[in-house]
């Protein structure tokens, strides 16, 4: 069964304290893995797409990496404005448009 698990559920960091969020997945052939950011009371906002193991993408203080079983979202020297819920989603190769599976997210809180 296709599955996406994110950990930890919640993470509190001090400003400047780097860390990583994990997204573990089980799908029958990965077509793409997506990271989104969601602020309270708003819709998810796209961050990255990763397609194959070994691929990395960066945007400001965020870097996403991908292996055959999991993806990490690394946050370097975070600022309070990075506080949000980060969602991971996977799409299986050969699947229909309905087979987009979201994880339950990691709530990140950065203290000044």
Partner 1 sequence: NAGVTQTPKFRVLKTGQSMTLLCAQDMNHEYMYWYRQDPGMGLRLIHYSVGEGTTAKGEVPDGYNVSRLKKQNFLLGLESAAPSQTSVYFCASTPSWGNEQFFGPGTRLTVL
Chain residues in the site for partner 1 (CB under 8 A): 4, 31-32, 34, 36, 41-46, 49, 87, 89, 91, 96-98, 100, 102-105
Q: Give the nearer residue to partner 1 in terms of CB position, either 62 or 89.
A: 89
Q: Give the nearer residue to partner 1 in terms of CB position, either 65 or 91.
A: 91
Q: Which residues contact 78 (CB under 8 A, 6 or more apart)?
A: 13, 15, 16, 17, 18, 19, 61, 108, 110
Q: Which of 76, 81, 75, 1 lies closest to 35 in space, CA to CA?
A: 75
Q: How far is the CB of 103 from partner 1 (least distance, A)?
A: 6
- Rounded Cα–Cα distance for residues 94 and 110 (Å): 39
Q: How far is the CB of 90 from partner 1 (least distance, A)?
A: 12
């Amino acid at each position: 069964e296709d599955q996406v698990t994110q950990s930890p559920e919640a993470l509190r960091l001090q400003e400047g304290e780097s860390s990583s969020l994990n997204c573990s997945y089980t799908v029958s052939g990965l077509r793409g893995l997506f990271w989104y950011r969601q602020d309270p009371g708003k819709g998810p906002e796209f961050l990255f797409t990763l397609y194959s193991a070994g691929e990395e993408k960066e945007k400001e203080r965020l870097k996403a990496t991908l292996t055959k079983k999991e993806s990490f979202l690394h946050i370097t020297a975070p600022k309070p404005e990075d506080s949000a819920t980060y969602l991971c989603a996977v799409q299986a190769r050969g699947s229909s448009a309905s087979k987009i599976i979201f994880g339950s997210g990691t709530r990140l809180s950065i203290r000044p």
